[in-house]
Structure 1
Amino acid sequence: MAVKRVRYYFYLRDVLVLSVTAFGGPQAFLAMVLDIMVRKRGYLSENDLMELNALCQVLPGPTSTQTISAIGYRIGGPNLAYLSLFVWILPATLLMILAAVLIDFLQENTAGSLDFAKFIQPMAIGFIIFAAQKTIRIMIQTKEAMVLMMLSAFVAFFYNSPFVFPLMLAIGGLSTSLKYNKQPKVNDKAILNVKWANFILWAGVLIGAAVLGHFTRLLPIRLFENFYRNGSLIFGGGQVLVPYLYTEFVEFKNYLTSEEFLTGYAISQGLPGPTFSISTYIGALSMREFGLSGKILGGFIAAAGIFLPGTFLIFFVIRFWDGLKKYRPVRAALEGINAVSCGMLLAAAYLLFEPLDANTFNILAIVATYALLQFTKLSSPLIIALGIVAGISYNWVIALI
């Protein structure tokens, strides 16, 4: 695969532009990368970009972030890849830490501090439903996948432990890998030249963080392990990450309230850059007991934990993917993994709605948000801004009355 060697500065400048202008999720991100890095700069060909993006989609972790890292790796090796990762995630990370600090300050110093989020909390459910529809339309193509999706949604409804999700993904992938004979054969023999260094790095950090967190019980180490584990298991993008994080940090560990989580998720939908930035907000609030420095540290720990495993894995797999994808069981397993991810996305909409009052106001806010996303060209940031303005205006009117 031929690529253009470039100076780090120019490539990183383009990555920074993307990080502050890429609204709209992975689809909009890919279109912008195609325009800037392929057509304008010529860093790589369109076919090269599509191949890298497809590879990132079948790996756990944030697809957009992995794609940026993979392009950097192709152009300038590991050093540029890690710099690309840092530049790409930094603006969203800083903004979500700021959001967490602001939310915590309002709750400590004002009465009814999240009243401005009266609209955007149910609006977050509308974003999830819209994302679920788009994801299901792409990923669910067979009756078997539909059944797997419904079964996984049912399990996630009633057994929403964070330890159940990875087991469901494994079972889903195994079940469809058994149908490998339906996959088209590849004539040439697959030759795998596997270099294990990055896999060992990924697994070593995963195991090391778990062991260290267990014995030290230090919150920063446990937080890093929590996010690193989630970043190692998420297939399907930032929307699929939501049920994992909600279950673990709201229901299981009670680090955040449902109200705080929904507010943060809605805010993250209005920001450019990686959709996994919601993790930064959760990490910051999880360490609020240590003051401002704790919130800042928690945000950066969460960012490192959620983004590093996907980067390690793309570095590992990119070296032998051409050979691996020729094995039919590997390609067949992706159907089950994607179906289970869609099921968990359906469950997320229910789990996030459950703590809200099932009143006319919340239902109308959800329906209106979905309708705006589905039937208008309004951007996500504008919709979120409208929700915040509506919440502030509503509270002002109530106060006058």
Structure 2
Amino acid sequence: MLPYLTPVKPVRRIRFLIFLKDVLILSLTTFGGPQVHLAMLYERFVQKRRYLTETELMELNALCQILPGPTSTQTITAVGFKIGGPNLAYVTLLIWILPAVSIMTAVGMGINYLEQHHLSLRFARYIQPMAVGFLIVAGYRIGQKVIKDKVSLALAITAALVAYVFRSPVMTPIVIVAGGLVTALTYEKQERMEKKPLKVQWANFFLWLGVLIGAAGLGAVTQSLPVRLFENFYRNGSLVFGGGQVLTPMLYNEFVAFKHYLTREEFLSGLGLVQALPGPVFSFASYIGALSMRDAGFSGQFWGSCVSTAGIFLPGTFLIFFVYRFWEQLKRYRVVRASLDGVNAASTGLTAAAAIVLFQPMAPHWPSVVVVLITMGILLYTRIPPFIVVVGGLMAGIIL
């Protein structure tokens, strides 16, 4: 035995534990959405630990931006996959989402408790218009990036009108797919790249598709609310491009306007509060799941949160595992790159429609309008973190 040789497995195990500790730290400290998350991932994973290079991180993030699902969650999961394979990736996902999911589940249960005991929720009255302000600013910032020409502008306006007039969750995937098909026809404008034969491993794709079809079928047969909740969130998680701000109109249409599982006020309260938490905005699903099963008691709310959380996060995880293996070849096809412009433009229109629908009932009440405008001004013209804005709104609601 050579004394100067270090066993490989213990070294890898220690490296994995250090990585997971870093993930936990990030899950407790990353406020502000995907752009801020990326900066913090760069600081810890690239500069401090050197798990990967800057180029590798940016490529992973770019890949996750064009896949359905939560961008930050997919990026950090993909880093775990790169370092230690699928097992480490799944543990990474769990640690990353656990703090925000736990808090939003507790918030959902807490709001239900207050409503059952006829206690006032007026302490959160400023959070609801603040949530609309957050959504408007998010849509504006997305639009600045993705609306590049008359075609993308027309797609965004058309998507907004269709989503506003036809408020069914069925319209969301139709609008997104239609947007992608329109700009896919303009593929000749894209730069030609040398193509390489695609070597596709289909296991994770069939896993994603099998769960999607199986959950839909099982929900239709059993009419079980937990199964249907899982299917609803799994479907939404499979179709949302652009992060939490695009997920919002999809969830509002599905669970408030169409199925009436939540009231508009409950939805907006949760949407505002999730802005004050570190970690993924998709943890909003845990809150909705808990309130959707309020009639089943405490255990039902907990179960509703669990199935909703699994439903919203699993599709993006399966898809990043699938695409990551052949991304280098896929991105060379012009039609793929061209379709993304339409998907992003349509997603912007969906966000605009949601902002209009949520703002309309507030329009006659000038205090709510003022709160919306102040929130927008703070987000656009100051560097005050969003969680500070939300905490300020809660304090104002308590004091006033």
TM-score, normalisation: structure 1: 0.95
Matched, 1:51 2:50: no
- Alpha-carbon distance in 1 for matches of 2:232, 2:290: 14
Matched, 1:32 2:20: no
- Alpha-carbon distance in 2 for matches of 1:264, 1:205: 28
Residues 372-395 of structure 1: CA deviation (Å, up to 9, x unaligned): 11112211111111111111122x
Contact 1:243 1:347 survives alignment (8 Å):
yes
Contact 1:258 1:355 survives alignment (8 Å):
no
1:125 is matched with which residue?
132
Please tell me the residue identity of whatever aligns with 1:132: G
Unaligned runs of 5+ in 1: 395-401
- Alpha-carbon distance in 2 for matches of 1:149, 1:382: 31
Of residues 297, 307, 313, the one that matches 2:313 is 307
Matched, 1:183 2:200: no
How many Å apart are 1:355 and its aligned residue?
Answer: 3.6
- Alpha-carbon distance in 2 for matches of 1:380, 1:166: 30
Contact 1:190 1:327 survives alignment (8 Å):
no
- Alpha-carbon distance in 2 for matches of 1:354, 1:217: 34
Residues 216-261 of structure 1: CA deviation (Å, up to 9, x unaligned): 0111000000000000000010000000000110111110000000
2:357 is matched with which residue?
351
Counterparts of 1:1-400 in structure 2, within 5 Å, are: 7-111=15-119, 113-186=120-193, 188-356=194-362, 358-394=364-400
How many Å apart are 1:356 and its aligned residue?
Answer: 3.3
* Secondary structure at the counterpart of residue 354 of structure 1: helix
Across the aligned residues of Structure 1 and Structure 2, the Cα RMSD in angstroms comes to 1.1
- Alpha-carbon distance in 1 for matches of 2:322, 2:203: 7
* Secondary structure at the counterpart of residue 7 of structure 1: helix
Residues 317-350 of structure 1: CA deviation (Å, up to 9, x unaligned): 0111111111111110000000000000101101
- Alpha-carbon distance in 1 for matches of 2:190, 2:184: 10
Unaligned runs of 5+ in 2: 1-10
- Alpha-carbon distance in 2 for matches of 1:167, 1:120: 32
- Alpha-carbon distance in 2 for matches of 1:224, 1:289: 17
1:397 is matched with which residue?
none
Percent sequence identity over matched residues?
54
How many Å apart are 1:141 and its aligned residue?
Answer: 1.2
How many Å apart are 1:7 and its aligned residue?
Answer: 2.5
Residues 49-83 of structure 1: CA deviation (Å, up to 9, x unaligned): 00000000000000001001100000000000000
Contact 1:243 1:351 survives alignment (8 Å):
no
Please tell me the residue identity of whatever aligns with 1:180: Y
How many Å apart are 1:357 and its aligned residue?
Answer: 5.4
Contact 1:172 1:337 survives alignment (8 Å):
yes
Please tell me the residue identity of whatever aligns with 2:172: F
Contact 1:60 1:234 survives alignment (8 Å):
yes
TM-score, normalisation: structure 2: 0.96
* Secondary structure at the counterpart of residue 52 of structure 2: coil
Contact 2:362 2:369 survives alignment (8 Å):
no
- Alpha-carbon distance in 1 for matches of 2:109, 2:206: 36
Contact 2:363 2:369 survives alignment (8 Å):
no
* Secondary structure at the counterpart of residue 362 of structure 2: coil
Aligned residue pairs, count? 389
- Alpha-carbon distance in 2 for matches of 1:358, 1:242: 23
How many Å apart are 1:149 and its aligned residue?
Answer: 0.4
1:398 is matched with which residue?
none
Contact 2:195 2:333 survives alignment (8 Å):
no
How many Å apart are 1:358 and its aligned residue?
Answer: 2.3
Moved more, 380-389 or 353-362: 353-362
- Alpha-carbon distance in 1 for matches of 2:196, 2:162: 37
Contact 1:246 1:261 survives alignment (8 Å):
yes
2:5 is matched with which residue?
none
